[in-house]
Each structure stands twice: as C-alpha cells, then as structure tokens.
Amino acid sequence: MNASSPPAGGTPKTPSTTAVTLPFQARIRKSAYFHASLKHGCHSFGVYNRTYISMGFQDPVKEYWDLLNGVVLWPVAGERQLEIKGPDASQFVQLLTPRNLDKFAVGQCKYLLVTADDGGIVNDPVCLKLGPDHYWLSAADSDIWLYARGINAMARMDVELSDPNVSVMQVQGPRSVDLMEKMFGPQVRTLKYYWCMESTLDDAPVVVSRTGWSSEWGYEIYLRDAAAGDRVFEHILAEGAEFGVQLGVVSQIRRIEGGMLSYGADMDLTTNPFEIGLGRLVDLEQSNDFIGRDALRSIAKAGAKRKIMGVSVPPPALSGFIEPWALEVNGDPVSTVTSLAFSPRLERNIGLTIVPTSLAEPGRAVSLVTPDGPVAGELQDLPFVSGRTG
Amino acid sequence: MNASSPPAGGTPKTPSTTAVTLPFQARIRKSAYFHASLKHGCHSFGVYNRTYISMGFQDPVKEYWDLLNGVVLWPVAGERQLEIKGPDASQFVQLLTPRNLDKFAVGQCKYLLVTADDGGIVNDPVCLKLGPDHYWLSAADSDIWLYARGINAMARMDVELSDPNVSVMQVQGPRSVDLMEKMFGPQVRTLKYYWCMESTLDDAPVVVSRTGWSSEWGYEIYLRDAAAGDRVFEHILAEGAEFGVQLGVVSQIRRIEGGMLSYGADMDLTTNPFEIGLGRLVDLEQSNDFIGRDALRSIAKAGAKRKIMGVSVPPPALSGFIEPWALEVNGDPVSTVTSLAFSPRLERNIGLTIVPTSLAEPGRAVSLVTPDGPVAGELQDLPFVSGRTG
C-alpha cells in the first residue's frame, strides 16, 4: 500500500477505549498551550508529568495520515524539562546516565536512559546541551526532578536543578521542514538530526531541535515564555496554513510502527536497557562514573533474560486496550502486551511486548488475552516499519 | 445551621468545572478497585501517582452530606505506598523528614513532611510503622519513590525500597466505626487515632489505620492482595448496607473546611513547612540528621515570609475553578487561591491561599480574580470548621 493515501476501502476501525469525564483540577498544571488547545477542539486530555496533555483533536486515523503526508502540530504539554546548570552540570548529567557523554557538543541533543542503582530505567529523556554548564533533560512521565534532587541531597554537587516552565510543541511530518524554514529561516533546513538552536518565534524566546517522537521527519519547539503561549500557538497555525498544517497528538500508531518505546508502558524501573534493545546507550567501558554501573555490568555479563519484540495480529482492529493484556505461548502466560494499535497501512494490529529471550523468535505463535477472549498472533522483529515515509 | 441536614432550600449550586473525556491508557495504573469503581457508577477519574483515581460517584454535595452524617467509602487508588524495609530503615525514614521519629512505636502512624535540601516539601505522607525495620509512606501525588531511590543511590544504606501494589479504601464519617467493628471486631473500636493494625478482610490481608483525609472520624484499609480487589470492594459495600454506606470521593468541601492541605495544590517544592502552618512537624533541635536541616534552620531564624490563610467569599457559589486564581489586595496581586469549594453549611465559598505574612490578618478584604471577573472576599484563620461533626 502507498503510504501517501488512505486505503480505498476507507480507514479501518480505530481501536476504541472506554472514556469517562476528566474534571479539570487546579492542582494539575496547565501548559502555555492548554487554553489554545481547548479552543482549537482538543476533546480529550490525559495527565503527564502532573500536567494536562492533549489526547485528541481529530480522529486518530486521520491524525496518522496527516503525520505521514503533511505536517502536524502536537502540543505535548507534559514534556517538561529538568534543567541542570552550574559548574558541576556535566558531571551531574553523566552521573544520571550510562551513555558516554564525553563528546557531547554544545548545541547537540542526545537520547539517554537515566538508570537507577539496580539498572532499572528511571526515565528516557532527550538531553539538550544548551551551554557548557547548561542542560535540559526533556522528560518522559516520571519525576526525574525528584530523582535528581534526591541524588544531590547526598552528592552536594555545585548544580542548580529546576523545572522551568517550558512548553513543547512538536512539529512533525515530511512537510515540517517547509514550515520550520518559513518560521526560522534557512539555517533550520541545515539543522542536523539531534541538534538544536536558540531562536525566537513571534518575539518569544524558543529552542528549536530536530527531534521528535513520530518516527517521521520533525522538530520540537521549546517555548520559554509561558505567557506567550496563546499567541505562539496561533502564530504557528497561521504560518502553517499554506502547508496544510493540522493539529494532532502523538500518533501511537506511527510510533509503534517505528518501534519507539513509551516510558511507563514499554519500559519502567523494572526493565533494563538491554532488554528493550537499547544496549547501545550503555557504555560500560567508559572511565566516567554513573549510577547503575555495577548492576548493568552484572546484567550484561549474565546476558539479558528478556527481549522486546513486536507482536502482530490480523484484522479486525482490536478494541478495549486500556490495560496491558497477557500474552500466552502454548496457553502459558509469558508476558504482557504493553502498547497496541491498528496500523492502517500494515492492515493489522501491532503491539510491543517483552518476552523471555528463549521465546524471542520472529514468527512464534502467540495468543493475546483480550477482554473479549484470546486472539492469535505472532512475534516479529522491530521496527514494524523502518525509515520515514513521505 | 445544623450539620445533620441539608438546608431547607435545597443544596446550593456546586462549583462546576469544565470537563472533557479521559481516554484510558494502558500506561496509567489501574488499582485493585478500578473495575469495581466503574461498575458501581464512578463517572469521572483523575490521575494521581500515575494511577487512575475516582473523582465522582454521585453529586459532590450529596457525597459531602453522606460524609457528615453516615459512612462513605472512598477508593483512593492513587494513594500508593513507598515501602522501606531493612536494617537501616529507621535511619532512612528519619533522613527524609524533619519530624523527630525517636518515639515512633510499631503500630503507630505519623503524618510527616518529606523535605528537600532547600526546605521545600517533596511530599506529605502518613507513615505507618509496621515493624521495627518496616515502614510505609502513604504518599500524596509526587514521586517520592524516585526521590528515595536518588538518595539511596548515593547514601547506599541497607534498605529495600519498593512500591508494593497496595490499594487504599478510606472508610470515613461518624458511622465508620460501626462498619469497621462489624468487619474487624471490637479491637477496631479501641484503635487509637493514628495507630494501625494488621488484619484480614474476607480472607485478604489488609492493614487498618485510624487515619483519613476527611476531617471526620474515619479509617483507611490498605489491601495487600490486589487480586482480591473486586471481592473486597463488594464485601465492604455489603457489610455496610445496614449502616447506609455510600460510595464517594475525597470531599474537597469538607477537607477545605477542616483546613487540610492538598499536596500539589496548597504546598509543593516551593513551599516550606513554616509557611503552611506545619512548623510543629519540624524538630530543629533533634540530634538526628535529616535532609533540609540547614535550610530549615535558616528559614526558622529569619521567620516565615508567608502564611497560609483561609479566604471566604459570600454566595453565590463560584464556578470555573480549574486553575489557581490570583488573589489581590487593594488591586495588587499578592498570591493565588490554591483550593476552593462552596460549603453548604457555611453557605459561602471557602478557599486556601498563602499570603505575605504582613498581610495575613483575619478580616482583610481581598479580591479573587475569577474567569468571570473579580469577586470580593476576606481572609480568615484556619480551620473554617474545627472538630468533627456527627
């Protein structure tokens, strides 16, 4: 199937989820884009890093095709920054992660795993190096701020740790580069993958990075002046009109196709980097100290006992995925399915699961225990779709 | 007005909040009581400690009167436990809090503030001492687990830190003691305030404490076997029928009346214990070490610059409180209102705010900046209602 057009027979049924109302509470943060998101039709929200995050503007299948074919804006409000500044900032960031940061240039970004002392995963941020002693860790949904505060209550390093009120807008999809060039000039077109730059947008200070959570070409805009949220939101929409820009939210379909993992779903404190296919982010030979080194050495030596795999189930689209489903092999529960979506272009259900290494064979027959009974599927290697579309 | 009956003219209008849908996500935890809560009519949820928490079964004003006059069940699923076990457990818990724990007996509970190195508040758990080397910190909505893990990544004390899958049911209201006695026998009637005991309920292991978040007489039941959730939920409901037990959620009205603070709303990392009237939980003279001691000594010496106060506004009930509202004195914004509800028996809007100490005078005229414009009110001392009803 051509990625550039929906299937002729119409879009398959989107997996539905039971929904209830969400009464807004004063104690949950509203990002700079909260009011504009409501005004522009955001019909559902979740909570991410104790902040309301948009969960839907349009039909998720439409949002998926918009991402593959054009350019979409995702106000990912829950993506907050742990800011680390000060003379010991580089040493402190290195302490948090097994990735070797010796060759980390100012203006560069790196995807990191933050590990606990037992090798479990605390968070998987993108780290932006904004200055020699100045970093942002753009955090997934776990309170890395308190982890860092706990560490430094003991380590007493010369760093300032904070949660600046930065609001992130992801600009994703093949036409994102055209919109970004219009807004930030030609230098954005030459911005390398996983690099960032400081700029302004409609006079508001922003950081722009060539990163994103879509498996497609894309950028993130980090708005530093929360008071400018409404204005900047409208500005980006207006600038994008000529490119057919659409509002949307993180496409679970596309990110699962691309084998991108979601913290809290596919990894957490009980998973280690080797199990989830991210051993490349662990450097056990470096001379730098980091939390979890001894544990990760032991795990590496013993070999990972589990491996992340894709799971594929033929149509029809499965619904009711609101809890991890048990995954069975020959009738025995061996793991759970932690993410699931129906891919319109692959025309099948695709999911993620971490299975015992001995069972991690592509083609192995498995059973998913859905609320409506078991369904048959098979394991396969990740990603489901390699490379960008468009 | 008599607390035992709704006002003759009917219940005043409840402050409404804008609500949108909340699509359930697999990555957010469901407690042992999630399915039973849905089955029994829970119509809205929030997210608390990355877990779905019930936000409404019936009308909040009906739930308020049920609490004052009878017995209500609150499945407070987001109230998770940080478990601390091991030879250094007592020393570790003391490190977390400025409260002096020298005289902490097994079977006792203590309300604590967990402080950061700058004296800011990380969490305000109730701590249960289940054994000489065994504690639970029953946590408000901030990731105290990661704070503890960060501390111990450096301190390397001999403790085991975990988040056991415990589900809390609060049994609150003047008739709670009758229901609890029926379920747990006569010893529960003599359980002292802020003490706990181990027991079973319908064969499932539980801890029972005489604590709660209602300002009324009440208990908490900590279910240790998540698989028994549905059964235990139905069991408590059935046992409570003869006492007219009702399902409900934390009554914001009653807890504000009682001056009980909500972490994330009325206190957070930017507030210190002295500002929020909880200086009694700080012992600066003790010989025990704890995080934040130097900072809290400095703050105590200089004197608190801010003070928590009540704010009172005449009818009609205010609506649209989904974000902290600015509070003005003589037209100048001096703080925000962090919690707000309409009290049916006081027949006025009541809220909480932290104002500069120089302005903290009962009777001082203030203005609340609501989405519909400013309204006039006045400051008053806390609590709005002292002592239990019923």
* pLDDT for res B2: 37
pLDDT, average across residues B44-69: 96
Q: Which residue has the tokens 């409570």?
A: B240
Contacts of B18 in chain A (CB under 8 A): 24, 38
Mean pLDDT value across chain B? 94
Contact yes or no for A116/A107 (Cβ under 8 A): no
Which residue in chain A has the smallest CA separation from B19?
A23
Contact yes or no for A98/A273 (Cβ under 8 A): yes
Pair (A250, A364) in one structural domain: no
Q: Is the peptide bond before B15 cis (omega within 30 degrees of 0)?
A: no
If one counts every other C-beta atom within 10 angstroms of the C-beta of residue B182, the result is 13
**How far A151 CA lies from chain B's nearest CA (Å)?**
4
Round to whole Å and give the CA distance between B360 and B323. 22
Residue A323 has pLDDT above 80, yes or no: yes
Q: Which amino acid is at A6?
A: P
Mean pLDDT value across chain A? 94
pLDDT, average across residues A316-323: 95
At A388, is the pLDDT very low, low, confident or very high (cuts 50, 70, 90)? confident
Contact yes or no for A104/A111 (Cβ under 8 A): no
> Which residues on neighbouring strands pair with residue B247, listed in sequence order?
B73
Residue B18 has pLDDT above 80, yes or no: no
pLDDT, average across residues B198-223: 97
* A296 part of a folded domain: no
Pair (A243, A141) in one structural domain: yes
Which residue in chain B has the smallest CA separation from A338?
B26
Pair (A42, A92) in one structural domain: yes
Pair (A270, A336) in one structural domain: no
* B280 part of a folded domain: yes
Question: Tokens at residue A249, please?
Answer: 């939210």
Q: Mutation target for A interface from B34, B35, B45, B47: give the one with most A CBs within 10 A.
A: B47
Contacts of B20 in chain A (CB under 8 A): 21-22, 24, 38, 42-45
* pLDDT for res A2: 37
Pair (A258, A314) in one structural domain: no
Which residue in chain B has the smallest CA separation from A293?
B153
Domain range for B334: 262-380
What SS3 class is residue B159? coil
Question: Tokens at residue A149, please?
Answer: 């505060």
pLDDT, average across residues B64-91: 97
CA-based R_g, chain A, Å: 21
CA-based R_g, chain B, Å: 21
What SS3 class is residue B32? coil
List the 241-300 stretch of A: residues with Cβ below 8 A of B: 262, 264-265, 269, 291-292
Residue A269 has pLDDT above 80, yes or no: yes
DSSP state of B267: B
What SS3 class is residue B193? coil
CATH of the domain at B300: 2.40.30.110
Pair (A69, A210) in one structural domain: yes
pLDDT tens figures, A167-195:
999 999 999 999 999 999 999 999 999 99
At A289, is the pLDDT very low, low, confident or very high (cuts 50, 70, 90)? very high
Contact A23/B19, CB-based, under 8 Å? yes
pLDDT tens figures, A21-37:
999 999 999 999 999 99
ipTM score: 0.94
Pair (A346, A219) in one structural domain: no
The torsion angle over the Cα atoms of residues B208, B209, B211 and B217, rounded to 10 degrees, is: 70
* pLDDT for res A387: 78
* pLDDT for res A390: 53
* A80 part of a folded domain: yes
Round to whole Å and give the CA distance between A282 and A179. 36
Round to whole Å and give the CA distance between A49 and A270. 19
Which residue in chain B has the smallest CA separation from A323?
B26
Contact yes or no for B213/B139 (Cβ under 8 A): no
Strands (E), B117-255: 121-123, 126-131, 134-138, 160-162, 167-172, 196-201, 204-209, 218-223, 246-247
Q: Which amino acid is at A248?
A: G
Contact B55/A339, CB-based, under 8 Å? no
Round to whole Å and give the CA distance between B166 and B225. 7
Least CB-CB distance to B146: which of A17, A26, A150? A150
Residue A14 has pLDDT above 50, yes or no: no
Sheet holding A72-75, edge to edge: A196-201, A204-209, A218-223, A167-172, A72-75, A246-247
Pair (A149, A41) in one structural domain: yes
pLDDT, average across residues B325-341: 98
pLDDT, average across residues A154-173: 97
pLDDT tens figures, A37-66:
999 999 999 999 999 999 999 999 999 999
* B325 part of a folded domain: yes
Contacts of B335 in chain A (CB under 8 A): none
Contact yes or no for A349/A340 (Cβ under 8 A): yes
Least CB-CB distance to B143: which of A23, A116, A143? A143
Pair (A317, A169) in one structural domain: no
Round to whole Å and give the CA distance between A28 and B1. 34
Question: Tokens at residue A226, please?
Answer: 């929360």
* A4 part of a folded domain: no
Q: Which residue has the tokens 């979601």?
A: A262
* B249 part of a folded domain: no
CATH of the domain at A208: 3.30.1360.120
Q: Which residue has the tokens 């849908």?
A: B21
Residue B123 has pLDDT above 90, yes or no: yes
Report how many domains make up chain B: 1
Which residue in chain B has the smallest CA separation from A268?
B27
Residue A1 has pLDDT above 70, yes or no: no
**Contact B46/A at CB under 8 A:** yes
CB contact set of B2 (below 8 Å; sequence gap of 6+): none
Residue A126 has pLDDT above 60, yes or no: yes
**Contact A74/B at CB under 8 A:** no
Pair (A251, A358) in one structural domain: no
pLDDT, average across residues A349-360: 98
* B315 part of a folded domain: yes
* B173 part of a folded domain: no
Residue A7 has pLDDT above 80, yes or no: no
N-term to C-term CA, chain A: 13
Pair (A206, A319) in one structural domain: no
At A83, is the pLDDT very low, low, confident or very high (cuts 50, 70, 90)? very high
Question: Tokens at residue B3, please?
Answer: 């607390």
Write the secondary structure of chain A as one string of H (helix), E (strand) and C (coil).
CCCCCCCCCCCCCCCCCCEEEEECCCCCECCCCHHHHHHCCCCEEEEECCEEEEEECCCHHHHHHHHHHCCEEEECCCCCEEEEECCCHHHHHHHHCCCCCCCCCCCEEEECCEECCCCCEEECCEEEEEECCEEEEECCCCCHHHHHHHHHHHHCCCCEEECCCCEEEEEECCCHHHHHHHHHCHHHCCCCCCEEEEEEECCEEEEEECCCCCCCCEEEEEECCHHHHHHHHHHHHHHHHHHCCEECCCCHHHHHHCCCCCECCCECCCCCCCCCCCHHHCCCCCCCCCCCHHHHHHHHHHCCCEEEEEEEECCCCCCCCCCCEEEEECCEEEEEEEEEEEECCCCEEEEEEEEEHHHCCCCCEEEEEECCEEEEEEEECCCCCCCCCC
pLDDT tens figures, B295-309:
999 999 999 999 999
* pLDDT for res B5: 43
> Half-sphere exposure (CA, 13 Å, Cβ side) for A353?
34
Alpha-carbon distances, residue B278 vs A277, B259, B281 (angstroms): 47, 12, 6
Question: Tokens at residue B168, please?
Answer: 């809390």
pLDDT tens figures, B272-292:
999 999 999 999 999 999 999
Round to whole Å and give the CA distance between B89 and B66. 40
Pair (A269, A321) in one structural domain: no
Quick one: B215 exposed, middle or buried, by C-beta within 10 A (0-12, 13-18, 19+)? buried
- Which among A255, A274, A293 is the end of a domain? A274
Nearest CA to A74 out of A48, A111, A50 is that of A48
Round to whole Å and give the CA distance between A136 and B175. 52
